[in-house]
Amino acid sequence: MKKIIITGALGQIGSELTMKLRELYGKDNVVATDIREPKDSKVVTDGIFEQLDVTDADRMKALVEKYEVDTFIHLAALLSAVAEAKPKLAWDLNMGGLLNALEIAREHNLKFFTPSSIGAFGPETPKDQTPQVTIQRPTTMYGVTKVSGELLGDYYFQKFGVDTRSVRFPGLISHETLPGGGTTDYAVDIYFEALKNNAYTSFIGKGTYMDMMYMSDAVDLIIQLMEAPSEQLKCRNAYNVSAMSVAPEDIEREIQKHLPEFKLTYEVDPVRQAIAESWPNAIDTSAAQEEWGFSPQFDLEKMTNDMLQQLNNKEI
Ligand code: AKB
């Protein structure tokens, strides 16, 4: 990667990835884009930033040509719960944006990354040790767009030789930017509320296991995957990646080690609970480990220590 364009740069992943890429590759070599342009964000003020609606293929192409980029990191998408509330918009944005980006990657011979998700699995997928290659029949619009995106990644690689790379992200936990409209968002909110109110009401039920990962591991793995030699990669659609499989009560127990009075209660949201139940409990990440050395640094204990410390420093 020498010159990189990122879409959705103000989102949960984008805001941290952009800063890390600027640090590693230089401010002049990272073109951050988003549909919003808040003047108080470091992503906007600390380097190159361009406003971009990813459904506008002409502007996307103009920016790729203006900055002569060689790598495209396409993050702009709606998350699972919002996509379920607005399925047509989710299809138009998630698929329209991805197709525009892939076409430009084909025309300009760009290296390409876009994330898939554990949402690409469905109720018929094996729930535990979910294999890299398995049944993918999701029952959400988010999942439909993620499986379609994986197929497009394969297609553009096989048909046109575009160097497509991807992972199936689990729930991502971060202290910088809040996620918006995901099913796994409870695992972020719980830390903010623990420090603010010593209590949290979870919209995901007790005993519901999902894969999760700390954002610093997610950012590092994107860079590691993008820098891996092309011939090492067998799965062009998306690699399973995860750092832990947790239920709300597991996070509760870890938080209580720091805040003994912390209280977790439940008010289950039937829509997000149904989505969570259609996803795996714990996926098998051996292909990512073997093919490009995926090795996350944060387990639940280490992540909880760091989250609470970082949030304390911010005095939220
Ligand atoms: C969501 O919950 O929608 C995302 C995801 C797992 O893809 N965090």
Distance, in Å, from the CA atom of 25 to the CA atom of 29, rounded to the nearest integer, reads: 6
Do 119 and 175 fall into the same domain? no
Do 152 and 204 lie in a common domain? no
Asked if residue 80 belongs to a domain, the reply is: yes
Question: Which residues, other chains included, contact 303 with Cβ-Cβ below 8 Å and sequence gap of 6+?
Answer: 173, 214, 243, 244
Please indicate, yes or no, if residue 201 is contained in any of the structural domains: yes
- The total of structural domains in the chain comes to 2
Q: Are residues 74 and 178 in the same domain?
A: no
Say if residues 10 and 79 touch (Cβ distance below 8 Å). Answer: no
Residue at 111: amino acid letter = K
Among this protein's residues, is 266 annotated catalytic? no
Question: Domain check: are 204 and 146 in the same one?
Answer: no
**Closest protein CA for atom 1 of ligand 1:** 182
Please check whether residues 206 and 108 belong to one and the same domain. Answer: no
Residues 158 and 178 in one domain: no
Mutation probe of ligand 1 site: the residue of 12, 80, 211, 275 with most atoms within 8 A of C-beta:
80
What is the pTM (predicted TM-score) of this model?
Answer: 0.97
H/E run at residue 171: strand 171-173
Expressed in angstroms and rounded, the spacing between residue 67 Cα and the centre of ligand 1 is 31
The answer as to whether 237 is a domain residue is: no
Q: Is residue 271 part of a domain?
A: yes
Closest residue by Cα to residue 148 from 85, 219, 91, 230: 91
Would you give per-residue pLDDT tens digits along the chain (316 residues)? 899 999 999 999 999 999 999 999 999 999 999 999 999 999 999 999 999 999 999 999 999 999 999 999 999 999 999 999 999 999 999 999 999 999 999 999 999 999 999 999 999 999 999 999 999 999 999 999 999 999 999 999 999 999 999 999 999 999 998 888 999 999 999 999 999 999 999 999 999 999 999 999 999 999 999 999 999 999 999 999 999 999 999 999 999 999 999 999 999 999 999 999 999 999 999 999 999 999 999 999 999 999 999 999 987 6
Asked if residue 268 is part of any domain, the answer here is yes
Query: Could you tell me if 11 and 91 lie in one domain?
Result: yes
Q: Which domain holds residue 271?
A: 171-212+242-314
Residues 264 and 293 in one domain: yes
Q: Clarify whether residues 114 and 158 are in a common domain.
A: yes
Q: Whose CA is nearest to atom 4 of ligand 1?
A: 182
Same domain, 42 and 14: yes
Answer yes or no: is 72 within a domain.
yes
Both tokens of 91, joined, read: 């299809």
**How far is residue 150 CA from its own chain's centroid?**
14
Residues 118 and 267 in one domain: no
| C-alpha of residue 82 to centroid of ligand 1, in Å | 10
CA–CA separation, 200 vs 194, rounded Å?
Answer: 6
Q: What residue type is 64 in one-letter code?
A: V
Q: What is the CATH number of the domain that holds 56?
A: 3.40.50.720
What pLDDT, on a 0 to 100 scale, did the predictor assign at position 1? 85
Q: Same structural domain for residues 90 and 54?
A: yes
